A and B are shown apart, each in its own frame.
Chain A
């Protein structure tokens, strides 16, 4: 039973398109995150939600919009995709200590 699950695992799309990644956690955690991992494996925080409320919003283009319909779900919508958006996007959840990560969604923008 997967604790943090993301869909889709792979996305290949053209520049200018819009895409969404969905995340769900069944751990009962209050806090969820989106991290971006670039080709050099650097993990950078993008957003954090606590009980559906945005608490961290790092310097991320407005084309990225997170949405949390409830505390078990955190989705990421990306408008007007650019080449530089190609990366692995990780969803994670936490109850205040350790972060539990999903398997990642690998986005390739052509």
Chain B
């Protein structure tokens, strides 16, 4: 399943840095795009959910979708040690029974 590509990292940044996480995809039928955060030994939890191209902001998090380039990004501003986790991009077509196609996840470590 290589429809969604994501660099697994690990990515290590100092506290306060801006983090950029990215995914590319090949299926132009993908309509809905999400970012999940997964802490160690926990289930994934939704961070951001977008439908259209453009930016969506929620606190320190900004999700960006560029459907023409088949590229999505998640930006984390003023990163904190508590942001250390694996970040998974996910996407789906509108009529696929709602199953999500996940990237492999990027492991992020924010050091104090």
Interface residues in chain A, defined as those with a beta carbon under 8 Å from any beta carbon in chain B = 4, 31, 33, 40-45, 48, 50, 55-56, 90, 92, 94, 96-104
B49 touches A41 (CB 8 A): no
Question: 20 A–B contact pairs at CB < 8 A?
Answer: A40-B104, A41-B8, A41-B88, A41-B104, A42-B104, A43-B105, A45-B99, A45-B101, A50-B97, A55-B97, A56-B99, A90-B44, A97-B49, A97-B98, A99-B100, A100-B46, A101-B43, A103-B41, A103-B42, A104-B41
Pairs A-B, 7 closest by C-beta atoms: A101-B43, A43-B102, A41-B105, A55-B97, A45-B99, A98-B46, A42-B104
Whether A101 lies near B88 (C-beta < 8 A) is: no
- A46–B99 alpha-carbon span in the complex (Å): 10
Distance of B10 from chain A, by nearest CB (Å): 11
Given A41-B86, A41-B105, A97-B32, 10 more A-B residue pairs with CB atoms under 8 Å apart are A4-B43, A42-B104, A44-B102, A48-B97, A97-B98, A98-B49, A99-B44, A99-B46, A99-B100, A100-B46
Query: Which residues on B sit within 8 Å (CB–CB) of A98?
Result: 34, 46, 49
Shortest B49–chain A CB gap in Å is 6
- Contact A43–B44 (Cβ < 8 Å): yes
Known pairs A98-B34, A98-B46; A42 contacts B100 (CB<8 A): no
B98 / chain A contacts, CB cutoff of 8 Å:
31, 48, 94, 96-97, 99
Inter-chain CA distance A44–B98, complex, in Å, is 14
Roughly how many angstroms separate A43 CA and B87 CA in the complex, as a whole number?
12
In the bound complex, CA of A55 to CA of B98 (Å): 10
B25 to chain A, nearest CB (A): 15
> Contacts A90-B43, A97-B49: A45 and B105 contacting too (C-beta < 8 A)?
no
> Chain A contacts of B107 at CB under 8 A?
41
**In the complex, what residue of chain B is closest to A44 when comparing beta carbons?**
B1
Chain B, residues 29-44, CB within 8 Å of chain A (1/0): the string is: 0001010001001111
Smallest CB–CB gap between A21 and chain B, Å? Answer: 14
B43-A102 in contact (CB<8A) = yes
